[in-house]
Structure 1
Amino acid sequence: MFGFEGTRQTALHLSWFAFFLTFVAWFNMAPFNTTLMIVLEFSQAQIDTLMICNLVLTLPARIFIGGLADYFGPRKVFSGLLVFASLICFQFALATTFEECVFSRLMMGIVGGGFVVGIKMISDHFPDREMGLAQGIYAGWGNFGSAAAIFSLPLIADNFPLETGWRVAVVCSGIACLVGAMAYWKWAEDIFMPHKQFLSFSGFSIEISSRKDFILQTVLLAFIYAGLILVVWKLEASTHPIIHTNIAWILSAGLLFLFGANIRKCYRVNKDSLNGRPRWEYSFSQVAILSLAYALTFGSELAIVSIYPEWLQTIFGLTVVGAGVAGSSYAFLNLFTRPFGGWIAGRWGRKKMLFVFVLGGMLATFAMSQVSNDWPLPVVLLLALTCGIFLQGGNGANFASVPLIRKELTGKLAGLVGAYGNLGAIIFLSVWSVTGAKGFFLTLSGFAAIVLFAVIFLEGERK
């Protein structure tokens, strides 16, 4: 699993490193929130808006990119995505206005969809018995890119004047993505799948098995589009709005039209299934449950990584570098917790362990809602690490199950589940901007209670 002697191992390590680079690029703004407030004179409201923009297009991108990976193969898609990431890094480094930063963070949200490409690659190369650990290593080590960005980019920037240091650090992340794209194109190998002749690229539409599943897919997609509409109105209602009210109405109407077109396309793609002749037999309700679980486990991770350095600076008065180092400890756990979550879920039962991880996350986030500046910093850091162990372990347990639902559709199913992770992050960050830390962590804990109930109906193993 850890060597390079076989095609599977090579695919695993190239994929997690490519994913790692996309996360470095995706989170290359997080350690510089306060720097941007000083250098570019952004307000707190503008920083909150940029954090939301960083997640917006990841919602549709994960489903769309998952379909691309199913149809064109992970090698082409991941290589192209890394080139795109490098170009957006360079654009962000040159940004001088709020509008230019908004554009770069919106485009960078597409890069966040790269997660599902590696899920497809690993699913094609590894057998079911090794799936949990392999997916855990891929996602856990790749997710460490967020911690690497928070930890290393301020250290690079610290060697230059405040006005230019953050730009140099962002350019470095773009160069790394460009090198990673060339390496993935040269050494990664796609696996020929005999079912590919039955696949067609159908955008955001997912093949299902029954009328009930069609209704459930419609509901899940409705929440995705609702999340996008929420972001539109957040951009309109911010202290420094970048969208006029009339434009917001036009965009909302456009998204509703796209939703209707999406459902119509889903109907056409699944016409045979709705008439009792499904091509792929599987339970879509399992996808729905895992989507809710991932909205909690990964959505909370994205949100906490985005606000954690700023939160530590505000409560304990840490410097940018100090908060970055301390804050990166939360994401650093992914190196171990996500592979552990996938491994133990495959060994002791996916449903059982996901339940345990969600329960622990519910209790830990409730405890974090009680934190104040009277608490000792080491205790707060230890509590955050405990929270990370449960929620990030839940990520591993979740994606130990997703590739086993229907391997031929892994890209799209992983894309939908992954999109809900970002939807959760958008909602949680919206709560943060309105209520602050206490309401933020209480919301996480309350949603965890809902997910805990849903996991009861999850199938333990694929039938």
Structure 2
Amino acid sequence: MRTFHLSWIAFFLCFFGWFAHAPLMNSTIGPDMGLSHAQKITAFIASVGITIIARLVIGNLCDKIGPRKSYTYLLAFGAIVVAGSSLAYNWETYLISRMAIGVIGASFVITQYHTTKMFAPNVVGIANATTAGWGNLGGGVTQAMMPLIASGMLAIGFAESELSKWRPAMVVPAVIMLVVAYLYWKYTEDTPQGNYDSNPSIKPVSQPGESGLFMSAVKDRRVWILFAIYGACFGLELFVNGRAATYYQTKFSLNETTAGIIAALFGLMNLFARSMGGWLGDKFSTTGGLSGRVKWLVMVLFAEGLALILFSRMDMLGLAIGTMIVFSLFVQMAEGATFSVVPFINKKSLGAVAGIVGAGGNVGAVIYAQFLLRSGATLENSFMYFGIAVVAISLLGLGIKFSAADEQAARDEQKKLEEFEKQLANRELKAA
């Protein structure tokens, strides 16, 4: 449970730092740096796009050195680049700083890897979904908190002007990241059996004649279906986190603080929605096996697409907020449902599978941002087009199949866990 809590806290901070620039872009960072509309979108694309590579690398790294070291190093790096972004002085240096910050988006892969290693198959869905969901809150909370932190920096004299107040504000998440990096190193282990360094027998390795851990994941078409599916749910969450505040400012003429608070509601659904998606995935598996997890994923992703289409058509503020929350519920449940399936695809190559699927989310976000930049479509019409795409992608999930042997192994493991729980309950009853 130490790992459970530290992993979501670490993920929360990484997402907070990753999206810390978004709510300040139009009002302070853009004018301070003299950024054009195209440069603002390009900075977002760079920050999200670099995470594609980072997630592939970090997933492989988890298989090699373990999640404990991987997270500690990533948090320390994140602290440096988030604080360092305050030193940007022109477009080029700002773009480089946003690309460097994008690397910490790979934190998601470590979180999912670590909780999968720590929890049993009958609860791994809700464990993965909850750590990811509570971590994703960072992307929503930063929408509301960073404007307040920046204003606070100006009020206490750390900023020279209204436009430069964002610079000292970036130090706040950086300092907290360093604290959590120390806690992660000191209080977590790679697995319940210990660390990879002290117990090499628990480290995943490919057997003679098998493809390498990464290549075995690459060759599995189910991994690429989940890659597309995660682009359709988490990719949209990334895109909306980066554009929601701007959407409400431009369409409904709201100020920075009000738009940021409304945009934060989208991320706040992570308190329970992603956990619900993983929990229901676990429940569907008790009667439907591994294919039950897949059916639930298809259903919730289909509903997500319909909800996004509905949100895109709302012209009244109250209805827009309400339908955004409904969309948020489905998008985050779909994310939880996705990673209730991932642990069962290829257990030996868990890091590689998680890295590839996780990268799919960032690929989706880049595609959405590129469409917005190059198509000339309005943001609300883009949302409608993306909703239609999600409905289509949801049907790809029907192509995720498991062998009879995999299904049987999952049922056998479920029975063992149920027997263990009964034995444990009997011991507690006798002790009482």
Both proteins in one fold, TM over 0.5:
yes
CA shift, 1:406, in A, is: 2.0
Matches within 5 A, 1:10-409: 10-34=2-26, 35-159=28-152, 160=154, 161-191=161-191, 192=194, 194=201, 196=203, 198-199=205-206, 206-208=214-216, 217=219, 284-348=220-284, 349-371=292-314, 375-409=315-349
CA shift, 1:447, in A, is: 1.6
CA shift, 1:404, in A, is: 1.7
CA shift, 1:100, in A, is: 1.1
Residue 36 of structure 2 aligns with an amino acid whose one-letter code is S
Tell me, yes or no, if the aligned pair for 1:123 and 1:407 is still in contact at 8 Å.
no
Question: Aligned partners of 1:351 and 1:56: how far apart in 2?
Answer: 28
Question: Aligned partners of 1:177 and 1:197: how far apart in 2?
Answer: 29
SS in structure 2 of the partner of residue 406 of structure 1: coil
CA 1:315–1:187 in 2, change beyond 3 Å: closer, same or farther? same
Question: Aligned partners of 1:158 and 1:313: how far apart in 2?
Answer: 18
Tell me, yes or no, if the aligned pair for 1:298 and 1:391 is still in contact at 8 Å.
yes
CA 1:460–1:330 in 2, change beyond 3 Å: closer, same or farther? farther
SS in structure 2 of the partner of residue 189 of structure 1: coil
Question: Aligned partners of 1:299 and 1:364: how far apart in 2?
Answer: 16
CA shift, 1:351, in A, is: 1.6
2:379 is the alignment partner of 1:437: yes
CA shift, 1:292, in A, is: 1.2
Tell me, yes or no, if the aligned pair for 2:58 and 2:109 is still in contact at 8 Å.
yes
Residue 432 of structure 1 aligns with an amino acid whose one-letter code is L
Tell me, yes or no, if the aligned pair for 1:66 and 1:411 is still in contact at 8 Å.
yes
How many residues are matched?
A: 377
The unaligned stretches of length 5 or more in structure 2 are 155-160, 285-291, 408-432
Higher alpha-carbon deviation: 60-69 or 154-163: 154-163
Tell me, yes or no, if the aligned pair for 2:63 and 2:204 is still in contact at 8 Å.
no
Question: Aligned partners of 1:459 and 1:73: how far apart in 2?
Answer: 29
CA shift, 1:403, in A, is: 1.3
TM-score (normalizing by structure 2): 0.84
The unaligned stretches of length 5 or more in structure 1 are 1-8, 218-283
Residue 313 of structure 2 aligns with an amino acid whose one-letter code is Q
Residue of structure 2 equivalent to 1:425: 365
Tell me, yes or no, if the aligned pair for 2:231 and 2:364 is still in contact at 8 Å.
yes
Tell me, yes or no, if the aligned pair for 2:56 and 2:356 is still in contact at 8 Å.
yes
CA 1:197–1:442 in 2, change beyond 3 Å: closer, same or farther? closer
Tell me, yes or no, if the aligned pair for 2:204 and 2:348 is still in contact at 8 Å.
no
Tell me, yes or no, if the aligned pair for 1:22 and 1:145 is still in contact at 8 Å.
yes
Instruction: After the TM superposition, list the runs of 4 or more consecutive aligned residues in structure 1 that deviate by more than 4 angstroms.
Output: none
CA RMSD of aligned residues (A): 1.8
Question: Aligned partners of 2:41 and 2:306: how far apart in 1?
Answer: 27
Question: Aligned partners of 1:438 and 1:397: how far apart in 2?
Answer: 27
CA shift, 1:195, in A, is: 5.2
Tell me, yes or no, if the aligned pair for 1:39 and 1:162 is still in contact at 8 Å.
no
Tell me, yes or no, if the aligned pair for 2:213 and 2:349 is still in contact at 8 Å.
no
Residues 13-68 of structure 1, C-alpha deviations (whole Å, 9 max, x = no match): 01111111110111111111112222222111111111111112111110110111
Tell me, yes or no, if the aligned pair for 1:296 and 1:421 is still in contact at 8 Å.
yes
CA 1:405–1:205 in 2, change beyond 3 Å: closer, same or farther? closer
